[in-house]
Structure 1
Amino acid sequence: MSLDGKVLIIEADGERAQQLRAVLEFIDRDAEIVAGCEAWQEAAGKPEALLAVLVGGCETDTQLERLLQQIHDFDPHLPIFLLAEKGKEPTVAIDAGSAILGRVEMPPRYSQLTNALHQAEVYRESHQAAGRQRPVDLFRSLVGSSRAIQTVRKHIQQVADSDATVLILGESGTGKEVVARNLHYYSARRDKPFVPINCGAIPGDLLESELFGHEKGAFTGAISARQGRFEMAEGGTLFLDEIGDMSLPMQVKLLRVLQERTFERVGSNKSIEANVRIIAATHRNLEEAVKEGKFREDLFYRLNVFPIEMPPLRERVEDIPLLVNELIRRIEHEKRGSVRLTSAAVMSLCQYTWPGNVRELANLIERLAILYPFGVVDVAELPEKFQTEDALAEARAKKAAEDQLVLNPTPIEYQEPRLPRGGIDLKEHLSNLEQSFIKQALDDADGVVAHAAKRLGMRRTTLVEKLRKYGLQRANA
């Protein structure tokens, strides 16, 4: 998730301004330079066209304070960063309540600028959303543009406004309850209760009481009468999650309620009508369970009126970048921090198999937000199992280019590499690039593997494995 918008550099020192613009353009950010503390508004354009302002020194502190006030009057929520030499504090105080978010040290460093722009994005988004009520957060796992998820959305639209029983199928963590909540929300029952119950989490002898309720004294411990989930969901929707784990005796009782639309509380002979829509879900293959005698065939056909299958995340890889954005947006909305991922990190996530599906992705994003609060996560910062060799090689190549840019801050014209007319073997190209950087690192480190590994930003053991893989010689271990 990122905001569009250029970065305005207000800096009288032309060399420093060009250094900043070179790094900003390297990370695909539009930058405009204003030489001095006056006449900057013409270059700024409209407030919404800007992401942030980088403010250098003015001739006097009074001039600087006047400039900051002008920017505040121009847009009180336009993020500002003060430029300062390394080890020197800005000459004006930074008010915690203002839009001055901090400082950027000179000469500019890629990581610091990236983090600063991330802060600016979060700050901008939070104030743009202020005063606007966020729409109902229903879609979570349904975010995406893949054909599979479009099919799920189409099925929801087709069946939501009917009372047909829906059976949601899919692996654990794919978002079956999200589908159920959407079905309820877009039905005529949306103003009535949505009541979920996990049939696999409640022991069989207690599930009957949970579903149908009980009368006082119906069994030991029943000290008062109690409503069941069917009564709680009256007029609304009852979501029976993990229906495949329900015991056979309970399946018989549930089948009777679905057929007759009436039930009795445990310990009572008084029939209660059930005006409830049933939505069930399971990660099990119910047709196989029927063949094995673990699930009643008649109940299966009662439930399987309108099946909806949630695809596993590995079959909708193109949705992962959108899901990452949505999960970060949710964390920010709940004020639990924020984080950003580089394109290389997202590419690496797209190559993982995701056995835990969207739930596993959500847990990862939350973990990264805790480990790197308001930071930018690259491939090397991902937990090891999410790192892929191709993504790591691309990240190392980019890091080497960034280091070169910092070492040579003179503005350079960045030439985007061109694909040869006859095409290339990308895997072989990246492999050759990786070998070249490894050789350079070993040469710079006089053959000391530990030092070379540090220069490459990888573990020593990982570098040893790569030396063995490529048949490269090492002088010292």
Structure 2
Amino acid sequence: MSGTVLLVEDDASIATVIRSALEDDGFTVDRCDSIEARDRLLAAGKYDVMLTDVMLADGDGIATIESVRATCPDMPLIVLSAQNTLDTAVRASDTGAFEYFPKPFDLDDLVRAVSQAVGSGAKRGEEGQAGDGLPLVGRSHAMQAVYRMITRVLRNDLTVLVLGESGTGKELVAEAIHQLGHRKSGPFIAVNAAAIPAELIESELFGHEKGAFTGAIAQAIGKFEQANGGTLFLDEIGDMPIEAQTRLLRALQSGRIRRVGGRQEISIDVRIIAATNRDLKPMIAAGRFREDLFYRLNVVPIVLPPLRERVEDIEALTKHFLGLAAREGLPERRIDRSALALLEQQAWRGNVRELQNAVYRLALMARDDVIDAPTVAAVLGDTSDTAVAGQDDGLRSALAAWLAEHAPAQGTLYHRAIAAFERPLFEHALKQTGGNQLRAAKLLGINRNTLRKKLGELQLNVDDFAQGG
């Protein structure tokens, strides 16, 4: 592959790695580290694609894209950013960016995207303005994949199927797509298929005419008509009765509905987003879910990770929920590192919803402004191995017993005690976290680089603890 690339990146080490990879693939790369230098290079020459960081020394790389578009309206743009939030992904999408890569990224994926951008001659997308109060929180790699999928469906009406366990935030994804997309001025209507009796679900979706059935004393407008011009979110679609699935499929195929008891077909213009916590493929095999409906809904699947696969987001989520709790009239609270470490050890089978409920309970019942580990243990119960206070008592007892037995000579007490307890301490952290280095580092209250260094010194292999957490 050949082509000319302008790389705008103020981190010299990252720029060197990117440049080397692109040049190995046949590209010619010019690199600069500021908006001012970028504009000079663009004025002096033509590039096939530009890669730009967001936070540069002299400004915001995304906020100044309009001047780039004025100079090079057809040049594909790839955004690189360490500011890994949904807001950043949406801002990149709003510039018409060809692709967005949160740092750290896979270098092979980046080179592949540059090749595709050069080959496509990608045009500028529609302009837009990112909304405030974005509903999704988290900067983990798992959530970055979700953000990238969301940005790809904002300016089209492709049907989206959101998959994930209960409590992962499927409705929030649907709301984000609506709020940030081109239908944001229209209504967002949500309907939970699991909460509606089977005999009423068709009336709920399509409406009914007066006298259509016993109790239909007046005409009723269904969710499809209510959502006209906007988005209809069909939650728990896996719980929809098979008979209603047939009518839903017909409505999606034709773009028209008929109220229960009615004769006239009504054209509808809605964007469909469906969600389920069920595995639909076994249900298809068992005849409980229509295969043709599945394919109609599963145009763009977005898979939400469970909280246990994005533990690094628990701190941000907890602080976010404490802020929400305060705005809803609960006491303002802060949380310390020991309490967060305890929260990060939990299974959270109810996912983000369970965490939010737990944080609200902590905000209500904590006696001090700062929530600590004993408070978490007291309010939420035995959230780990008999809670942190018990662990601290056990460590103190073990140290006292060791001192009584060994009676180290004068001047060697500190070093001998550390040598005796350091390895078991790191082994305990790895066992508690199943060998997950990020979680182990947070549990110990040290950074990941320090953990790796100590594991090397102690000759501890994380793979030996992979099943221990």
1:353 aligns with 2:351: no
Alignment of 1:101-180 (within 5 A): 136-139=132-135, 142-180=136-174
- 1:200 alignment partner, SS class: helix
One-letter code aligned to 2:225: E
The secondary structure found in structure 2 opposite 1:424 is helix
Aligned to 1:386: 383
CA distances 1:120-165 after superposition (whole Å, capped 9, x unpaired): xxxxxxxxxxxxxxx74332xx311111001001100011221000
Partner of 2:217: 223
The alignment partner of 2:165 has SS state of coil
CA-to-aligned-CA distance 1:88-108 (integer Å, 9 cap, x gap): xxxxxxxxxxxxxxxxxxxxx
Judged with a 3 Å threshold, the aligned counterparts in structure 2 of structure 1 residues 399 and 322 are, in CA distance, closer, same or farther, namely farther
The offset of 1:212, in angstroms, is 0.5
Deviation at 1:335, TM superposition (A): 3.0
Partner of 2:370: 376
- Flag the 1:398–1:157 CA change in 2: closer, same or farther, 3 A: farther
2:24 matched residue in structure 1: none
Structure 1 residue 337: deviation in Å? 2.0
CA separation in 1, counterparts of 2:256 and 2:199?
20
- CA distance 1:293–1:385, change in 2 (3 Å): farther
The alignment status of 1:202 with 2:196, answered yes or no, reads yes
- Structure 2 equivalent of residue 454 of structure 1: none
Residue of structure 1 in register with 2:178 after alignment: 184
> Quick one: percent identity of the two aligned structures?
46
Q: Structure 2 unaligned runs (5+)?
A: 1-130, 398-413, 430-469
- Normalised by the length of structure 1, the TM-score is 0.55
Offset, 1:360: 0.5
Note the C-alpha offset of 1:390.
7.6
Specify the alignment match of 1:330 in structure 2: 324
CA contact (8 A) 1:208 1:266 kept: yes
- Check conservation: 2:374, 2:387, Cα contact below 8 A: no
Whether the aligned pair in 1 keeps the contact of 2:206 and 2:260 (CA below 8 Å) is yes
Describe the SS at the equivalent of 2:294: helix
- 2:298 maps to which of 304, 328, 332: 304
Contact 1:167 1:279 in 2 (8 A): yes
2:422 corresponds in structure 1 to: 424
Deviation at 1:200, TM superposition (A): 0.6
Q: For the structure 1 residues 335 and 283, does the alpha-carbon distance in structure 2 shift closer, same or farther, using more than 3 Å as the test? A: same
State the distance in 2 between where 1:371 and 1:325 align. 16
| Corresponding residue SS for 2:232 | strand
Q: What's 1:240 paired with?
A: 234
Residue 277 of structure 2 corresponds to which residue in structure 1?
A: 283
CA shift for structure 1 position 294: 1.1
Residue identity in the other structure for 1:137:
G
Question: 1:340: Cα distance to partner?
Answer: 2.4
Question: What is the deviation of 1:342?
Answer: 2.2
> How far apart are the structure 1 equivalents of 2:417 and 2:390?
18
Structure 2 SS opposite 1:425:
helix
Q: Report the Cα distance in structure 2 between the residues aligned to 1:230 and 1:418, rounded to whole angstroms.
A: 72
1:272 aligned residue (266, 280, 286):
266
State the structure with more CA Rg.
1
Find the aligned partners of 1:289 and 1:377 in 2 and give their Cα distance. 44
Q: TM-score, normalised by structure 2?
A: 0.56
Partner secondary structure for residue 332 of structure 2: coil
* 1:321 correspondence with 2:315: yes
Q: Which residue of 2 aligns with 1:471?
A: none
Counterpart Cα distance in 1 of 2:381 and 2:223: 44
How many pairs are equivalent? 280
Question: Partners in 1 of 2:167 and 2:427 — Cα distance?
Answer: 37
Q: Structure 1: any 5+ residue segments left out of the alignment? A: 1-134, 401-415, 432-477
| CA positional deviation for 1:421 | 9.7
> Which structure is richer in relative contact order (CA contacts within 8 A, separation 6 or more)?
1
Q: Distance in 1 between matches of 2:276 and 2:298?
A: 11
Structure 1 residues 253 and 418: alpha-carbon distance in aligned structure 2, compared to 1, 3 A threshold: farther
Q: How does 1:409-448 map to 2 (within 5 A)?
A: 424-427=422-425
Of residues 227, 252, 264, the one that matches 1:258 is: 252
SS of alignment partner, residue 223 of structure 1: coil
Residue 229 of structure 1 deviates from its aligned partner by 0.3
Retained in 2: the 8 A contact 1:240–1:278?
A: yes
Q: Matches of 2:219 and 2:382 in 1, distance apart?
A: 51
CA distance in 2, matches of 1:207, 1:181: 22
- The 2-side partners of 1:172 and 1:334 are apart by 24
Offset, 1:282: 0.2
Judge conservation of contact 2:164–2:304 (CA < 8 Å) in 1.
Answer: yes
CA positional deviation for 1:373: 5.7
Counterpart amino acid of residue 197 in structure 2: P
Map residues 48-59 of structure 1 onto 2, 5 A cutoff.
none
Alignment RMSD: 2.8
Q: Shift of residue 381 of structure 1?
A: 2.0
Compared with structure 1, are the counterparts of its residues 215 and 372 closer, same or farther at alpha carbon in structure 2 (3 Å cutoff)?
Answer: same
- Deviation per CA, 1:231-272: give whole Å up to 9, x if none: 000000000000000010000000000101101111111000
Equivalent position amino acid for 2:381 in 1: E
What amino acid is the match of 1:138? L
Give the distance between the partners of 1:426 and 1:149, measured in 2 at CA.
34
